[in-house]
Amino acid sequence: MPEDEIRVRFAPSPTGLLHVGSARTALFNFLYAKKYGGKLVLRIEDTDKARSKEEFELNIMDGLSWLGLGWDEGPETPNLFGPYRQSERLGIYKKYADQLLSSGLAYNCFCTEEELEAERKAQETTHQAPKYSGRCRNLKPEEIKKFEKAGRKPAIRFKVEETKKISFKDLIHGKMEFDPTLFGDFIIVKSNGDPIFLFAGVIDDALMKISHVIRGEDHISNTPKQLLLISALNFPIPEYAHLPMILNPDRSKLSKRKNPTSLSKDFKDQGYLPEAMINFLALLGWSAKTEKNIFDLDDLVSEFDLHDVGKSPAIFDQKKLDFLNGYYIRHLQIGELAKRSLPYLEKSGLVKKENEQVLKAISLVQERMKKLSEAPDLTSFFFQKPKYEPQLLIAKNSEKDTTLKALRISLAALEREADFGRDSTEQLLRAVAAKNQIEAGKILWATRVALSGKVASPGVFELLEVLGKKESLERIKSAIDMLK
């Protein structure tokens, strides 16, 4: 492996469904790796045994695959720099924890949760910054034996000896500086033997030869502690880039309890296209040097630069996502759109398999569709007789008798018509409206609703052409019977 090879990682915890914010992080890592011919590593940080589940790991992988974000190394390639699941690397973390203990850079802490909570409350009372007091830092052998005899399981804390400020240059935020005296000695291994993520992450990044750590801004506060660990373990320091937070339009925090945030449940399953999601996620914090806003994945690889990622929070604009999704739907080949809409049509019970009827129906509504999940509602009239209230047939500023007359005129004219092409039926219905001195709009509205049963639908001439003469006449007759 070349010494200067770009190696980035996406390291999610499988404790829930893939979040759109995490998907944005994965995308930016992917773009950076591909831009410079590097490698993207997928690492599963599953040391939280209680909350980590295989179903969430699969959901993460499925989400990345759906977006088209392939990884170069991961759980399926353990012979490279693996294993890539942290739960399979516990022996590695123990080795480095023991190294820090034996060198005096870390120590066993026997404090209980109750003792630590009391300490925190006392600090709050005196308006001190909450940090560990160091009470276990210099325990005598007899004190350690006493704790062990009492059955206390120690956590391992790292000694923070630095008196000078810790600084690093973030590729997005510039120079960052922290005072280590504010956070005190911190835990690196819990009392149950599990490493905390910032300790395990430092070791994994070093052993997996990660050159750039690109992650969310919420991890900035972890970086100084990780830099101390890197120095203590004599590891190379990677470059850091912290991506801006994603906020709602009202600048509140994007919350999975209040907002649609699950890539699979709230976006994929609801009929958003991966092309639209990729385009949308890329614009959450990144600004292209060009003025265009439509990018496919290849465009993004070519255009992307971390220096164009902003420091300010990115705003999750649902309207922009809907616009992009509608744009990509309108630009799909009709066969491809029908194929992608089919699962929604099948689930609704409208169709059982793809056929020519599906193509015709989808072709009628492509311009109006914003999400694939809208396909059943937009096309239901095509696969089954419409159900609606008779009042819907009456156009604005019209009456029941006028509407009934309009439908009868339309039916009579269409019964005599052989060519049900769009142009032919338009000429026919406009001509009979003029001949019978009825506003064309009143005939066209009533006929269109008779065919579709909807306030908004494709135009009457398109409906006549796609439904065909037999079905169209049957629906108009049914409408007339409803109004009698």
Strand 174-178 versus strand 166-170 pairing type: antiparallel
Write the burial class of residue 382 (CB in 10 Å: 0-12 exposed, 13-18 middle, 19+ buried): buried
* 256 assigned to active site: yes
- CA 206 to chain centroid: 29
Structure tokens that stand for 279 in this block: 């385009």
**Other CB atoms closer than 10 Å to residue 365's CB: what's the count?**
20
Catalytic residue among 94, 190, 209, 256: 256
Give the SS3 label for residue 46.
coil
**Other CB atoms closer than 10 Å to residue 154's CB: what's the count?**
18
Structure tokens that stand for 331 in this block: 């630009």
Strand 246-247 versus strand 314-315 pairing type: parallel
- 106: β partners: 158
Q: Where are the strands (E) in 206-345, listed by range?
A: 212-216, 239-243, 246-247, 314-315
Phi, psi dihedral angles at 373 (to 5 degrees): -65, -15
Strand 186-189 versus strand 155-158 pairing type: antiparallel
- 214: β partners: 241
CA distance 376 to 374: 6
Give the active site residues: 256
